[in-house]
Each structure stands twice: as C-alpha cells, then as structure tokens.
Structure 1
C-alpha cells in the first residue's frame, strides 16, 4: 500500500503526568492518611487542654485518655516548647485519631485512639557507627572537631577527661589529637552525636597523653580513664570538699580553739562557706560512719581504700548512709555549724594509714593504682585501640 505526500499527518498525543503525593511515614503513621498538624506546647498546656480542642472517637472520654497516659508517662513532665503532632480524620478534622508528644530527638509518646486507647513510649530506630579521626588544632578544639564532622559537644568531654593533665585554656594551634568514637545516627542518616569515646590521645607541649576508659571491676559504676601504662589520668582526691570556699584554718599541731579558748591540735582543714553549700566527697569509697557528736556535730567518714580515709564535720544535713558507696564529687551533706563551730564551715580531716595528716602538704596519688593482674588485662585490652590511634596519626601527619 502506498501513501500520498498529502496524507494527513497523525495527530501528536499529549501525555499528562499526574504528580503523586509523596508518601510520608514517621512515628508509626502514614501522614497522608490523616489531617496532620504540628504544634508546640505553650505555657499552661496539658494533655487535657489539647484533647479538649477535638472530639474523640465514640465511647472514648478525655478523662479515660489522660488516665491511660498516666500509666505509661508522667504527665507532669510535659514542657512548654516541646513539639506535638495531632492526627485527625481527613473529612472531619475535629475527630482526633492519634497524638504524638515528642520528648526529645529520639524518644516520643504515642497516644493511639483509632480502635481503643493505646499509649506507648517509643524510640526512633538508631544505628551506631564507629570511626577513628585525627587532626591538628586550627582554631579552637570545637572548631577543629566541627571541621571533622564530629559533634562539638565532644570538646567539653575531652576537657573533662584531661582536666588533671592539660590546661585547655593554653592549648594552641599545632597541638594534635586522635580519637576513636562511636556516633549515633537515625536510620535515615541524620547525625545525633557522640555515643561513646573508646580511646584518644592529645599531644600537648610535645607529649602524647593517651586516655582509655576502663572499669577495674564489673561492679564499678563508672569508667575511669587511664594512660598507655595503666596510670589514672584523674587525681584520686579533689583538692577540697567544696566548689566555692574560704580557707579559714589549716592543719596544725597547736591552734587556739575559737570556742574552747585554749591551745590544742587542729587535725583538720577548715573551709568556710554559706549554710547549705553542698559538701562533696573528695574521692570514691564507702561511707564508714555517719553520726553526731558534741564536738564534730553532724559528720560523715568515708573509707577510700586500705590506706586513705576522709571525714567531713559540722554538717547541717547528712545525705548519705553508713555502708553506701559514693563516687568522687558526690554530694554527701550540706555545710552547717553543728557541734563546736562559730559559723558555717566544713572541717575536712584526712587519714593515711590510720594517722591524721595534712592533705595540703601530702603528695596524693592519681586514681587508685591497678593490681598486677588488672594491669595485664588492661594492657591487652588497649593494645588494638592504641594501634588504631597510632596508625591514623601516622597516616594523617605523614607529610610532617
């Protein structure tokens, strides 16, 4: 069959592309199925006031919902400024189907009203990723971490780890560090921050100071940081049992007592501070005794190990009990003037091998030393961690 040149050309078909609404899923709901409103709690808002803006599905009452919420969540903990999301019927926007209260980046409360009242605390799925990074300071530590894509919240953590070893006000451009860390992400890849530090070093004044978190026993509640030789980075004792104080009387073998008005030994160090100031135990240990005497007033005595003990006198309030394990820096009482005292202060007493001594003149140890067995296990544990730090350092700084 032949066609003439004049044959009518076929008509061009125009195809229309229908844009599909993107499917949005979050917090266990498909947003497209509901009328969704994101809102922020205002001062004075409660779950009851939120529910009052809606009608509930048949047979459900506002009181029943709030009572059910109480079983899973302390409703007094909701805070102004926090976000919440309401899911209502698409046709009847006043009919509430579900409510989500966002507690923080990870945790949220779901109040599902679709069939019955179901209340659950949930957490968004997260993943942990591990990496080792190294860098030379260029600007502040926070700025350098930010350039590495690491949370700047790590800077104060590192300052705390090295509080007894490095003056972070004096670190400078050219100082180096390396760190192995675990970081948390949402499943969609959004970064949540640092979950854990596995190992690190900071090169300060030309010396590498390593830090590895480690527990000497399974019963130990918190990690302590040790260097590559098993020596603790943290001093075993704080310098004083108070954060803010005025030293009013030193340890002395002959002091004129301000109440008894006679010369006698003063086997302690007096720190004056306002009534109610927190008193902290200067080292970890076990509360050996608490009580009251006419001279000491309310007191607490802590045994730290076979060699050292400390005692804290004239408290207005005792906050620990005999036999309780306490951590360095834990508040064990409040400053007062009970017993023989002319004003609010704490008399800090220090024993070494059963003899009271002056802690301000004593060369105190770092964290309690490891036993031979503990040190062997520790050195085996840190061997691969230290190698990772050294390897990335060699790779990062190879051009120098």
Structure 2
C-alpha cells in the first residue's frame, strides 16, 4: 500500500480543454482552484483485469486456420464447454472473427490439474475479449489503459507530403489528416520543394507502444512561401479547423476530386488532343490515377446527371447551388443516381478510361454561372467562421497553441 499526492490546476488545462470541446459548464464538478488529495493505493499486478499471481499464464498467437476449439482442446477444455462458450459469446464477439496473428493468453490454475479458467484474445491494440471458462461460461470485452501524449513535429517537403511523413518515422495517418485539413486551402498537386509543415497532434499509446494518432490540434503549412495556420476548435459540438483570424479552413469546394494523384492536363484554351490529333480548348483539369481510385464530390449538392456518353464515358454532374456546378468524366463506375443529395467528400464514382480517353484519369469540369471556368482561379466562398460567443475561448486556445507551433524547429535548405 502506498500514498499518492495529486495536484493540478484547472486553469492550466483550460486552453487544451477548449480545443477538445470542453467548457467550464460541462465540468461543473471541478473546482476552479488547485485541488490536492491523498489517495491510498494498493498495488496488485493485473493483466486484462485478472490478478496475475493467481494463475499460471500461457501466451500464444493464433495461427493460420486455427480455431478457438483447436486452442481450447489443447488446454483440456471439453467439447461441451466450448459449444456453450461459442453460443454465449456470439452476441459479445463471435469466435469466428478471431484472426491469424491475434495474441492470446490462457489463464490456468496453479495446481497439478492446470484447469483453464480464462482465455483472453487481443482483437485490436487496445481491445481484448475475455472468455470465462471457470464457474460459469461467459464472455465480455475489455479495454486496455490508453495514454494520450501531445507531440510537436515538423518537416520539410522534398518530393511529397506522404514521403516526408514517412522519412520522419511518422504515421501515414498524419499525412491523411493534414491533407484533409488543408484540402480547401493548399494545392497538394503543386507542392514544391522547400514547402514545410509544423503540427501539434495527439499520439495514442497502449502498453508503451504507439497505436495511432488522435486529433490534430494545430498546424502550420507553408506552401509557396505563404503560411496557412489551422487550429482545431469545437463549437456547438462540431469540431472544425480555423485560421488565426477565426475563419474556417473549409471552403465551398475541395481543391481536387482525388487524393494523392497528379494533374496530367490543365484547363487551357488550346491543347493538342492526344486522341483527336488536333488543337482544341480543354475546359477541364485532368487528374491521372490508377483505375478504381475513388472520385469525391468536391462540394455539397444534388446529382443532375449520372450517365454514359460517347466522349465523356461514364460521368456525373452535380449542381451545388445557383452559381456552381461540377462534372466528373471517364469513370469506370458511377456510384450515384440523378436526384441524389451529395455531401462534400462523398465517393461518387471510380477512376477509369471510358469515353474519349487514352488512360485512366478523371476530367474535372467546373461551371460558374453557366460558364466553364478554371477552378484554380476562382475565389471560392468560405464556410462559417468562429461564432461571436466562442471568440474569447478560441483566442485562449489559439494563444496557447501558437507559441508551441513557433518553437518547432525546421531545418530548411535554400531552394
């Protein structure tokens, strides 16, 4: 038995709580002064919530084509008990879902019989299923303690965001999160050498090992020598990212209908057509990508066309409002129907080469007031900014995170 003295200040955590969506009203059980308390703790070693000292434990890994019955029979569990367990467990975690490579532990009595008492299998890094075999047959799901740490990292881009993330031994999920945050403001198809990023994010640990990334709290992305800031903030129970002025980073349209592809042909009034072998206007932007790559709607709207034509191949056209319309050509497959309401980011089809196309790509066309225009030259309207009632809370959160971004060191070569 030992005594622990805990001391913390509510105000020291308030800015981060605001970023994560907590407000003083939601934490009325906390006092606004320092709290000091002594707690007596009796330390008993447990594993999966089961006292280790009471059992003999055998560890293993589920092998290819190995079923629960194969394992339990090896520890002397009779067929009748296995059948009962499978029946009881089906509404908790069906034993047929156990996969090759899942770690497991068998808890047996310490006497000469070594009777099986608990079979525990880890179904994910932080989740496990306990199959109780002694006394009464039962099954339940447990969770390992999760520790969330705040990390601050940065990197200079030499080729692509994803490659830079990998070179810095960071999770690929971070690249996806950054690309989602800046999808409306940074042109990831025109990233140039020397662009760089700084990011503050949550990293989740179980048993001392990182198992993934939580929320991105703040970021700075410098693209073509222009800095784009983003701060995560929750208002009206909805999390979004805002710049240093409280304006939303979410624009009315995504910069592109695909993730991590390349522009193979730009919007131009004069292009040599590779199939028709003549010069003509190309009133769209072509994004080359592997066949089957998901194509996303760049904005909210209603599908007004989902069809096939000789030149366009499979195509979808979406009306966003009285001003803007977008169209997506050469799909291998359409996934929406006329009249269907679409949200920004919804998958509306797959990349293909149907119609007049020499290879797999999507031709993205953009209309403004009935005329086809270059989407990259449009001043698109932003989403709603920080509401007046949240401005002070947002400023407090931003003033806490901005210095942390500032101190992240970037070694940038002259470019």
TM-score when normalising by structure 2: 0.64
For 1:342 and 1:184, locate their aligned partners in 2 and report how far apart those are by CA, in whole Å: 45
The answer to whether 1:30 aligns with 2:72 is no
Conserved? CA contact 2:154–2:408, under 8 Å: yes
Q: Paired residue for 1:68?
A: 88
The answer to whether 1:363 aligns with 2:377 is yes
Q: Paired residue for 1:327?
A: 344
What aligned pairs does 1:119-268 form with structure 2 within 5 A after superposition?
119-126=139-146, 156=175, 160=179, 161=181, 164=186, 170=194, 179=200, 181-182=201-202, 184=204, 194-201=213-220, 209-214=228-233, 223-229=239-245, 230=247, 232=249, 236-239=253-256, 241=258, 243-244=260-261, 247=264, 268=284
Q: Helix, strand or coil: the match of 2:377?
A: coil
What aligned pairs does 1:47-86 form with structure 2 within 5 A after superposition?
47-56=68-77, 60-86=80-106
Greater gyration radius: 1
* 296-305 or 160-169: bigger deviation: 160-169
Residue 347 to residue 294, structure 1, CA distance change in 2 (3 Å): same
Conserved? CA contact 2:314–2:331, under 8 Å: yes
For 2:259 and 2:202, locate their aligned partners in 1 and report how far apart those are by CA, in whole Å: 34
Conserved? CA contact 2:267–2:374, under 8 Å: no
Q: Helix, strand or coil: the match of 1:42?
A: coil
For 1:165 and 1:258, locate their aligned partners in 2 and report how far apart those are by CA, in whole Å: 29
Conserved? CA contact 1:141–1:155, under 8 Å: no
Q: 1:389 aligns with which of 401, 404, 407?
A: 401
Q: Which sections of structure 1, spanning at least 5 residues, go unmatched?
A: 1-21
For 1:336 and 1:394, locate their aligned partners in 2 and report how far apart those are by CA, in whole Å: 44
Q: Which sections of structure 2, spanning at least 5 residues, go unmatched?
A: 1-42, 157-162, 410-415
For 2:260 and 2:214, locate their aligned partners in 1 and report how far apart those are by CA, in whole Å: 29
What aligned pairs does 1:294-313 form with structure 2 within 5 A after superposition?
294-295=309-310, 296-313=312-329
Residue 27 to residue 224, structure 1, CA distance change in 2 (3 Å): same
C-alpha deviations, 1:136-194, integer Å up to 9, x for none? Answer: 99xx9989x99xxxx8778647754567289695268xxx9574x556566x9887665
For 1:396 and 1:268, locate their aligned partners in 2 and report how far apart those are by CA, in whole Å: 40
Residue 66 to residue 352, structure 1, CA distance change in 2 (3 Å): same
TM-score when normalising by structure 1: 0.66
Q: Paired residue for 1:16?
A: none
Paired residue total: 352
The answer to whether 1:288 aligns with 2:270 is no
RMSD of aligned alpha carbons: 4.9
Q: Paired residue for 1:3?
A: none
Q: Helix, strand or coil: the match of 2:83?
A: helix
For 1:213 and 1:95, locate their aligned partners in 2 and report how far apart those are by CA, in whole Å: 52
Residue 389 to residue 294, structure 1, CA distance change in 2 (3 Å): closer
For 2:357 and 2:44, locate their aligned partners in 1 and report how far apart those are by CA, in whole Å: 73
